[in-house]
Amino acid sequence: MVPSKEQLSRIFTSFLKQAPPGEYNIIFDDLRGLNSDEEILNEQANTTLVEFNHKNFELVHHPDMNKTIVSKFNIVTPPSRVAEYIEPNANKRFTYDHLNRTVTNISENNEKYDPQHVSWRAALQKELDVYINNHYLKHGVGTVFIHDGKMVLCIGSHKYQKRNCYNGRWASYWTIPAFSTERVTHSVIGHIDLLTHYFEDGNVQLNLEKDITLNIAYPTDIEASAKMVLKSITEAETAYAVSAQEKLTHFSDQTFKSLRRPLPITRTKMDWQKIHNYRLSKKMTNPSEN
């Protein structure tokens, strides 16, 4: 039975949504080899690819603007294969082609914001830059966006090493209420998504997600408040990273070992070149021997 276009579309969407970080295009090309229906493939480029890049905080590099990400928090036009985004640090707009991964049409962002939101965003970005520089080395990009009257702090860190059979990425975002001098507790809500893929002589993926709520009382000074927020985020992400490392260590030392074929009682692999020296081999070749 030949599947319908609707069935193929659902199958393609399922495969592509589960693509490991940095490997979407590989799976897309494989699906093209299985079915060359351009209509279905174009549909995936306009929907699933955009959703995939938003979820994974696709990093964007261009010499005419600061490094940033593409996400649902800084998109301007409706989601599609070619969409417009905001880069707030240089107050730019740019068009991003998700399929070709190219940036075009960089221009000034003329959208008007509440001046207090702008000041709060700048204070948070200043502290975020320090955090990224200290904890994410060369692989991290952090940007604070003004979104629906709140600040959304996004961190994307990708490490793709296809030659070493490894890809991985960290994507976290924190929704931060507007700055206020009132001495009340504010809820900073975060989401961390960690995914790694090892594919040397096998295929192992690890996907960890966690929602975190931090209750923070802002100081009356905006810069001190930004420091307080980033200090709390730093502690929360560090604790989660340590916990994830402990889980990985346990997984490697316990779970993986239980899946492997156990070694002989000697705890050494059998040397098949010296099989004739083993006592069991002698008994098999001369059953009468005790």
- Is the residue at 273 inside a domain? no
| pLDDT reading at 263 higher than 80 | no
Q: How many domains does the chain have?
A: 2
Residues 130 and 225 in one domain: yes
- Is the residue at 272 inside a domain? no
Contacts (Cβ under 8 Å, ≥6 apart) of 169? 21, 22, 56, 57, 156, 157, 158, 159, 194, 195
Tell me which residue range forms the domain holding 34. Answer: 5-108
Lookup: tokens for 97 = 């082609």
Contacts (Cβ under 8 Å, ≥6 apart) of 75? 54, 83, 84, 85
Q: What is the mean pLDDT of residues 224-240?
A: 96
- Is the residue at 229 inside a domain? yes
* For the chain, percent of residues with pLDDT exceeding 70: 85
Q: What is the mean pLDDT of residues 136-145?
A: 90
Q: Is residue 277 helix, strand or coil?
A: helix
**Torsional sign, CA 178, 181, 186, 191:** positive
Q: What is the pLDDT of residues 74-127, one digit of tens each?
A: 999 999 999 999 999 999 999 999 988 999 999 999 999 999 999 999 999 999
Write the CATH number for 94. 3.30.1140.60
How many C-beta neighbours within 10 Å does residue 223 have? Answer: 14
Prediction pTM value: 0.82
